[in-house]
Chain A
Amino acid sequence: MRWMVERNLIWILLLFLFIVEGGLVPWLIPADWKVDIAPHFVLIGVMYIAIFLNRHTALVYGIFFGLLQDVVYYGHMLGPHLFSMGLIGYLAGFGVRRSYISIGSVMTTIMAGNFLYSVLIYGIYQLFKVVQLPFSWVLTHQILPGIIIQLLFALLIYIPARHFFERTVFLQQDEN
C-alpha cells in the first residue's frame, strides 16, 4: 500500500505549490516585471503527472486545482482555470512516448502546454469580454516571459519529480 501513500503525497505537494504560487512567488520576482509574470507551478506539476503517470490522473488533478484557483482568486468568473488546466493536463499525456522519456521531449511538452494554457485563458477572457487586449501584446508581455519562468522551474524540479513518479509507478506495479 506504499503507492497509496505516495498518491496522497501528490495532493499535498501540489497544494504546497499552489500556496507558494500566490503566497511566496510575488516576493521572489523582481518588482519591475512582476505584473506580467504568471507562475503556473501547479500546471507544471499536473503536466508531470500526465507525462510520468497517466493522463487521466492528470485530468482529475488539473480539474481540482483549476477549480481551487478559480475559487480562491475569484475575479471575473469561475471555470477558466478548471477547464484549461484539466484539458492541458490531459493533452500533455500525448506529448511524450511512454517507452522513451527524454528531458528534451518533456521540456518541449511543458513549453507547449504552458503556451496553450495561457492562450486558452486569454481566449476565454476575450470571449467573455473581461479583458480587451491585443493578442500580440499579451504574447510578448505575459506569455513568452512567463514560459521562461515556467521552464526554469520545470528544469529545477525535473530530476526529483522523475524520481518521485518513477518510484510511485514502481511501487504500484510491485504490489499489483
Chain B
Amino acid sequence: MQVLFKLMGNKRLFVLLIGVILSVAFMGLTLGKKTQMTWPEKFVEDSVSFAQGIFYKPAGYIAGFFEDLGELKILYEENKALKKKLAQYAQDTTRLNALEVQNQNLEEALEFTDRQKLANRYTWHVAEVVAQSPDPLNNTLTINLGSKDGMAVDMAVATVDGLIGRIQKVSSLYSTVQLITDIEANQNSSRAIAATAAGKEGTFGMIENYDRETGHLIMNKIPDSDKLEVGDTIVTSGLGEVFPKGVVIGRIDSIKVGDFGITYTASIKPAANFNVWREVFVIEVPKP
C-alpha cells in the first residue's frame, strides 16, 4: 500500500480516485434496477416518507385554501358551465348503462371467458402525494400507498386530467412514482407507452421520449397509414397489457416525418400539468 501511495505521490488524490471508481461502479450496478427493494431501503423509504407527509399534506391544504380564495371570482362562471356539463353527463350515463348491458349480453353470447370479461374492469385507487423529488433531472413522487394496499411495480398513475407516470418501486406503506417527464428511450428503467388516438380505432404510436425544452412528449413509430391530425387526443392503447386502456395522455401539437422517413413522429402536449399535486390515482389492471 505504501508503495502505491508513493507511486500516486498524493494520498488524498489516491483516496479520491478510489472514491470515484467505487461510486461509478455503484451507479452502474444500480442503474435501471427493477427488482424488489431490500429491507433497509424499505425502512428508510417508509420512515422518511412518513415524516415528509407531515409537511406536504398540510402545506397542500394551505396552498389550496389560497388558491380557492383566488378562484372565488370565477366560481360562478365555472358553476354555470359545470351545470351544463352535468346535464350532458346524465344523458351519457343513461346511454352508457344501455351500452353496458348490451355489451354484457354480447360478451355472454360470444362466450367470453371470465378473464376476458374482467380484463377492462380497472380499479382506481386514490393516493395522497407525500413528497416530490428536489432533483430536477430525476422526477419522482412518493405516494402513500404501498404493497400492503396492493400496489405493484408498473401500475399507471394519473390525475383527473391525464396520465402522469407509473409506479417504479414499492415499499410496504409508500411507493415511488416515476413521472412521464422522465421517460427516455435508451434507458433501462423507463417503459415506453403504447398509445392510440381517441376515436380513431387501430391507430398506433409509442411514447418513448420527453422533450424537456418544449415540455412535450414525443410519440414515435406512427405508421404511414394512420391518419393522425394536429389536435387529436392521444390515449393509452392498453397494448402490452401493462398500462390500462383509454387513459388520456395529451393532445397532438405537431406531426413530422420520423428519423428514417418510414414512420411519423408526433409531439404531444401532456394533458396533466406537472406542477404539484395533492392526490393522484393509481390504476390497477386486474391480474390475468
Contact = CB atoms under 8 A, between A and B. Distances in A.
Interface in B3-23: 16, 19-20, 23
Q: What band does the interface of chain A fall in when counting residues whose beta carbon is under 8 Å from B?
A: 35 or more
B52 to A, nearest CB: 4
Nearest to A25: B134
Contact of A22 (B24, B132, B137, B178): B132
Interface in B118-177: 130-140, 142, 168-169, 176
A19 B130 CA distance: 10
Q: What band does the interface of chain B fall in when counting residues whose beta carbon is under 8 Å from A?
A: 35 or more
A20 B60 CA distance: 13
Nearest to A129: B186
A76 B133 CA distance: 12
Interface in A80-121: 80-83, 86-87, 121
Given A22-B132, A23-B52, A23-B54, A71 B41 contact: yes
Main secondary structure of the interface of A (DSSP, over half): helix
A73 B201 CA distance: 38
Contacts of B142: 22, 72-73
Contact of B26 (A38, A78, A131): A78
A137 B116 CA distance: 48
A132 B209 CA distance: 10
Interface of B: 16, 19-20, 23-24, 26-28, 30-33, 41, 44-45, 48-49, 51-56, 59-60, 62-63, 130-140, 142, 168-169, 176, 178, 181-182, 184, 186-187, 189, 212-213, 273-276
Interface of A: 18-28, 31, 34-40, 68-69, 71-83, 86-87, 121-122, 124-125, 128-133, 137-138, 142, 146
